[in-house]
Amino acid sequence: MPRILEPVRRLLVGRPYDTERQRGRPLGRAVALPVFSANALSSVAYAPDEILLTLALGGTAALAMGPDIGLVVVAVMLLIVLSYRVSISAYPRGGDYAITRANLGPWAGVTVGAAMMMDLVFTVAVSVAAMAHYLAAVFPALTGAELWVAVAGVVLLALANIRGAGRGRLLPAVLVYLFLALLFGMLVSGLVQDLTGTLGAARSADVEPVPDPAFEQGLGGLAVAVLAVRAFSSGSALATGVEVPAANVDAMAQPRIRTARFVMLAMGLLAGASTLGVMYLADRTNVVFVLDPATLRTTGGGEVPADYVQNPVLAQLANAVFGQGGLLSGALVLLVAVLLLLAGHSAFKSFPELTSRLARDAYLPRQLLTRGDRLGYTNGIVLLTLAALALVVAFRAQTALLVQLYVIGVFLSFTVSQLGMVRHWTRQLAHTPGGRPRQTVRLRRAVNLVGFAVTALVAVVVLVTRFTYGAWVALLAIALMVSVMARIRAHYDAVAAELDLTPAEDARALPSRVHALVLVMSVQRPTLRALAYARASRPSSLEAVVVDLDKGATRRLLAEWDRLQLPVPVTVLASPYREMAEPLIRHLRTLRRSSPRDLVVVYIPEYVVARGWQSLLHNRTTQRIKERLHREPGVMVASVPWQLSRRQGSGGDTRPLPESGPIPPGTGPGPVESPVKDIASRVGETGPLDAGAHDR
């Protein structure tokens, strides 16, 4: 980063942290539960909406299936939670990538890694999109600007994570508890109102969905089944995020595994209970939620008013139970938005960890391993930010569309991870003696097997019902990521194989002779400094090289060289096509051909300008020559920089120069060839100035 931007960076990122500051304190149950459940709990903010909007395709009658489908979705979610509770007993350091890699081999691991990367990007995109819609429910002024609110949410999360902020655990915990209190308060008052018959209707109770053409003939047996399956597949978004505690066992207080198991169970029950409550109340208050509000009509069959705004289900319920625009309902909706932001935040923690893990295994670029000033994996954070922004913008922050792609990757990694666990327990069984321990392993394997079967079924259902709706894009993306990671790994493997020392190699071998070559473009101070440095390195032979771009200039240069009596012979290289690098490369190759075991060192005088705009006024010739020379084997490039002073026009370098005074005769560098004896004759020539070295 240019130094001029340093203050901006300090303002945004803050002072760098010492590496020692890395470890955090382990979290007890009371804090771990809210912190690691935020992601799973936040699904309540969009999973019910998904079920209802799918059912709405079948018309008003189909909406009655809502609570039943909610029940099935919750059951599946609890099964997955159970399955993960078993997994962590074997892999407390956890993570689906680690489990899969250990049990099903690196390629299954990479596939899961790719799916998880995609999931986490979707977690951010879905969370900020849903957050934007909840905020619009409290602040109607934001309606229509949801996209920009979502983009702002991503940017906020990115900056916070690059700063390393949000490491505090207490505030999030308090906010999640507040959310839970208000949510269950709302659900209980809703139930009480329902029992006492005082439950009001939702705002959307007086509209109804126009059935999809496919379901126009009413709901026959098959049509109902298809609709129910599709609603279930959309609703399975409820299970997203349940793996978070399993991947963070390390961060929990001792006894870690018991803490984690408690957190998972509590999380599953809370998420399940709240989903069931929401689905029940939504049915009782006649909540209607559709993909496109333009497809609604009033219950009388009329047009829906143009200013009709469709709020998320939870916001509608809060208004129905706590009263439209009341303080409590506003607070609950705001807390939902906060919870969604926390879910996005948790993805911002997991994604860079995952990519650094993949980078450590050489499947992703090494840059993802670099820790930033505040100890975060900045490059991973930036990658996630860009990907999430791309999704948010591409889907114009429409939560429903995003969720449907989200579910695929999540269930893919669930499935593969559970399969890995089944394999793990089967292997374990071979080493386990009979009796109780053996039975425990069998039981655990059975749980993971059920988990595998269920998640596989859901994955297939989602894939089939959503294939033409974009599921193929998600699969293609995962396949593409796997193939890129394979190429990256192959590259790193090849580089390591090439760079590693062979046992037979003598690590202390030296080049036999050193041929030094100074590239001369003018007789000015930087050139003389380069010459002095080259001579100080006492090479076996030393020559100055001039590329003849312009005959007059070359002649003047040689005359000046002669006048200064510089003790180094000059070779002039012809350049009929006015190139700098090519004649030099040809000359070097000639040298290397005649003595391939010698080292050739090219000294290049350079000047470094003090201000950025000034570099526009100087050719990038030396830079280009250096890049070209880097591709030549057996050639070392020595840049001799001359720092131009900042005070223009002063004309002097005020810093001490490394040159000492004149060297006493006889003590000069040893094996330097005889001085400019053949120049004078060449200067007088009328023919080409080329010494002809490379044409012979």
Contact set for a copy of itself, span 48-67 (CB under 8 A):
none
Bridge partners, residue 505, by sequence? none
Interface with a copy of itself (CB under 8 A), residue from 169, 328, 669, 683: 669
Binding-residue pattern over the window 282 to 311 for a copy of itself, x denoting contact by CB under 8 A: ------------------------------
Answer for which of 206, 653, 678, 695 binds a copy of itself (CB under 8 A) is: 653
| Closest of 197, 232, 182, 181 to residue 51, by C-alpha | 232
Residue type, 323: G
515, 600 contact by CB (below 8 A): yes
Shortest distance in whole angstroms from residue 584 CB to a copy of itself: 15
Smallest distance from the beta carbon of 151 to a copy of itself, in angstroms? 27
Handedness of CA 29, 31, 32, 33 (dihedral sign): positive
CA 427 to CA 449: how far, in whole Å? Answer: 14
Q: Applying CB under 8 A, which of residues 213, 305, 649, 666 lies at the interface with a copy of itself?
A: 649
Residue 572: DSSP 8-state = E
Give the nearer residue to a copy of itself in terms of CB position, either 427 or 487.
487
Interface with a copy of itself includes 638 (CB under 8 A)?
Answer: yes
Minimum CB separation of residue 645 from a copy of itself in Å reads 6
Q: Which residues pair with 60 in a beta bridge?
A: none
Q: Which stretch binds a copy of itself (CB under 8 A): 118-126, 329-337, 466-474, 534-542?
A: 534-542
Q: In the set 340, 523, 573, 679, which binds a copy of itself (CB under 8 A)?
A: 523
Question: Given the rule CB under 8 A, which of 221-229, 270-278, 380-388, 655-663 is the region that contacts a copy of itself?
Answer: 655-663
Hey, how many other C-beta atoms are within 10 angstroms of the C-beta on 250? 12
User: C-beta of 161: minimal distance to a copy of itself in Å?
Assistant: 17
Which residue from 223, 220, 242 is spatially nearest to 231, judged by alpha carbons? Answer: 223
Helix (H) or strand (E) holding 604, with range, is strand 599-608
Show the site string, 483-512: x = touches a copy of itself by CB under 8 A, - = not: -----x-xxxxxx-xxxxx---xxxxxxxx
- The answer to whether residue 19 forms part of the interface with a copy of itself (CB under 8 A) is yes
- Please say which residue, 69 or 359, places its beta carbon nearer to a copy of itself: 359
Rounded CA separation 556/558 (Å): 6
> Angle 645-650-655 (CA atoms, 0-180°, nearest 5)?
45
183, 591, 640, 689: residue in contact with a copy of itself (rule CB under 8 A) = 640
| Residue 422 CA: distances (Å) to CA of 9, 107, 408, 443 | 48, 17, 21, 11
**Residues of span 431-490 touching a copy of itself by CB under 8 A:** 488, 490
CB of 317 to a copy of itself, least distance (A): 49
Q: Binders of a copy of itself among 598-617, rule CB under 8 A? A: 598-601, 606-608, 614, 616-617
Q: Is 505 exposed, middle or buried (0-12, 13-18, 19+ CB in 10 A)?
A: exposed
Hey, what are 496's tokens? Answer: 């390591």
φ/ψ region of 289 (left if φ > 0, alpha if ψ in -120 to 50, else beta) reads: beta
Query: Could you tell me which stretch among 294-302, 384-392, 457-465, 531-539 binds a copy of itself (CB under 8 A)?
Result: 531-539
Q: Could you tell me which stretch among 94-102, 208-216, 467-475, 631-639 binds a copy of itself (CB under 8 A)?
A: 631-639
Nearer to a copy of itself, 302 or 687 (CB): 687
Complex with a copy of itself: residue 11 or 504, whichever CB lies closer: 504
CA dist 81 and 89 (Å) reads: 13
* C-alpha to C-alpha distance for 584 and 547, rounded to whole angstroms: 7
| 13 belongs to the binding site for a copy of itself (CB under 8 A) | no
Three-class DSSP category at 404: helix
Residue nearer to a copy of itself on the CB measure, 305 or 576: 576
Are 589 and 629 a contacting pair, CB within 8 Å? no
Q: Taking Cα atoms as reference points, which of 356, 353, 375, 383 lies closest to residue 13?
A: 375
> How many of the other CB atoms lie within 10 Å of CB of 626?
16
Considering only 9, 29, 538, 555, the residue that binds a copy of itself (CB under 8 A) is: 538
Q: Using only C-alpha atoms, what is the Rg of the chain?
A: 35
What is the Cα–Cα distance from 548 to 541, expressed in whole angstroms? 22
Task: Give the binding range for a copy of itself (CB under 8 A) out of 81-89, 145-153, 159-167, 661-669.
Answer: 661-669
255 preceded by cis ω (within 30°)?
A: yes
3 state DSSP class of 638: strand
Please identify, among the stretches 11-19, 112-120, 225-233, 311-319, the one whose residues bind a copy of itself according to the rule CB under 8 A.
Answer: 11-19
- Identify residues 547-606 at the interface with a copy of itself (CB under 8 A): 564-567, 576-578, 596-601, 606
User: Considering only residues 362-421, where is the footprint of a copy of itself by CB under 8 A?
Assistant: 365-367, 370-371, 373
Q: Which of 18/307 has CB closer to a copy of itself?
A: 18
Where are the alpha helices (H) located in 91-145, listed in sequence order?
Answer: 96-104, 106-138
CB of 316 to a copy of itself, least distance (A): 48
**Residue 514: which H helix or E strand, with range?**
strand 514-519
| In the complex, least distance from residue 33 CB atom to a copy of itself, rounded to whole angstroms | 34
Q: Which of 532, 535, 575 lies closest to 554, judged by CA? A: 575
Among 658, 666, 684, 687, binds a copy of itself (CB under 8 A): 658
- The stretch near a copy of itself (CB under 8 A) out of 85-93, 138-146, 177-185, 520-528 is 520-528
Shortest distance, position 363 Cβ to a copy of itself, whole Å: 11
* Residue 227 token pair: 């609709």
Is-contact 158 349, C-beta < 8 A? Answer: no
Residue 519 three-state SS: strand
Tokens of 663: 């060297």
Per-residue CA distances from 358 to 353, 369, 474, 477, 638 (Å): 9, 9, 20, 17, 37
Output 179 or 561, the one with its CB closest to a copy of itself: 561
Question: Within a 10 A sphere around the Cβ of 366, how many other Cβ atoms?
Answer: 12
Residue 287 token pair: 């909540």
Contact pick of 221, 300, 662, 687 for a copy of itself (by CB under 8 A): 662
Tokens of 76: 């599946």
Residue 160 makes contact with a copy of itself by CB under 8 A: no
- State in angstroms the smallest separation of the CB of 624 from a copy of itself: 10
Nearer to a copy of itself, 209 or 372 (CB): 372
Residues 132-151 that bind a copy of itself (CB under 8 A): none
Distance from C-alpha of 286 to C-alpha of 77, rounded to nearest angstrom: 25
Out of 635, 676, 689, 691, name the contact with a copy of itself by CB under 8 A: 635
The residues facing 548 across adjacent strands are 574
Nearer to a copy of itself, 40 or 580 (CB): 580
Question: Which H helix or E strand runs over 335?
Answer: helix 327-360
Closer residue to a copy of itself (CB): 83 or 622: 622
Least distance between a copy of itself and beta carbon 653 (Å):
7
Q: Is the Cβ of residue 326 or residue 671 nearer to a copy of itself in the bound state?
A: 671
Query: Do the beta carbons of residue 206 and residue 307 sit within 8 Å?
Result: no
Shortest gap between Cβ of 555 and a copy of itself (angstroms)?
15
CB of 361 to a copy of itself, least distance (A): 14
- Minimum distance from residue 159 beta carbon to a copy of itself (Å): 20
Interacting stretch for a copy of itself, rule CB under 8 A, among 305-313, 321-329, 434-442, 639-647? 639-647
Contacts with a copy of itself: how many residues (CB under 8 A)? 101
